[in-house]
Amino acid sequence: MMNDELKRQAAAMALTQVKPGMRLGLGTGSTARHFVDLLGVQVAAGFACICVPTSEATARQAAALNIPLSDLDTLDRLDITIDGADEIDPQLNLIKGAGGALLREKIVAAASDLMIVIADDSKLVDALGQFPLPIEVNRFGLGATRRAVALVCAAHDCAGALRLRQTSDGDSYVTDGGHLILDAFFGRISQPEALSTDLLNIAGVVQHGLFLKMCKKAYVAGADGVRTLSNGN
Ligand code: 5RP
């Protein structure tokens, strides 16, 4: 089965958790896009909800589907955020941010009572780090921040490069918040909590793509159907 069909199946399962009147966080990426599409069909049929998007791309998609949108200035808390992931470990710790939306994704997930991740089973890993870890940094002082990030990565046994993310045109990739992204190719992240702390201690680091103890439930689709993974953290 194609990955895209699996992503849609995981998204459809998450939709079963959404009740009328809920306040939802809408993730970013190809899997979250399926969820927004499916939610749009429900909304067109009269389903009531209010949603906070995690990127300008998701906001545009949701607006085109007439999904009611709000923000975290207006809403204190959200009931559920539904989002994709780049890697999911056995404790449901995640790497996110391939789509560059990690900062808003983390803010929205942190403001939600429940974060549900939807994915195809290629995202399951024994340990995080095969996928490059996105580190969002301020444009100002990039050189100094990059050197500090490189030192932290080396101290955490980063096996590979630290690359400034670029667009296909060769320009620096700029996030919705106007920041840049450094992608760190670890190979394996053995102490994610300590790495998180060390990265956030660097002045120019805005956020990183480690989502630790944030996700309590995941719907992961594979050839045998959609599995529900959960943990009580
Ligand atoms: C965007 C993300 C995405 O959720 C993550 O990259 C997964 O994307 P996809 O569903 O396309 O595989 O974190 O910042």
Say yes or no: 18 and 62 in one domain.
yes
Q: Which residues pair with 224 in a beta bridge?
A: none
CATH number of 38's domain = 3.40.50.1360
pLDDT tens digits, 71-122: 999 999 999 999 999 999 999 999 999 999 999 999 999 999 999 999 999 9
The rounded Å distance from CA 97 to ligand 1 centre is: 6
CATH number of 205's domain = 3.30.70.260
**Alpha helices, H only, the chain:** 3-15, 30-44, 56-64, 102-110, 142-155, 192-200
The rounded Å distance from CA 33 to ligand 1 centre is: 10
Say yes or no: 121 and 189 in one domain.
no
Q: Which of 5, 56, 87, 105 is catalytic?
A: 105
Say yes or no: 217 and 205 in one domain.
no
Say yes or no: 74 and 164 in one domain.
no
Domain span at residue 109?
A: 3-125+212-224
Domain count, the chain: 2
For the residues 217-231, what does the mean pLDDT come to?
96
Question: What is the pTM assigned to this prediction?
Answer: 0.97
Say yes or no: 29 and 101 in one domain.
yes
Closest C-alpha residue for ligand 1 atom 1 = 99
Nearest in space to 219 (alpha carbons), one of 54, 78, 38, 11? 11
pLDDT of residue 146: 98
Answer yes or no: 193 catalytic. Answer: no
pLDDT of residue 231: 83
Say yes or no: 102 and 20 in one domain.
yes
Residue 232: inside a domain: no
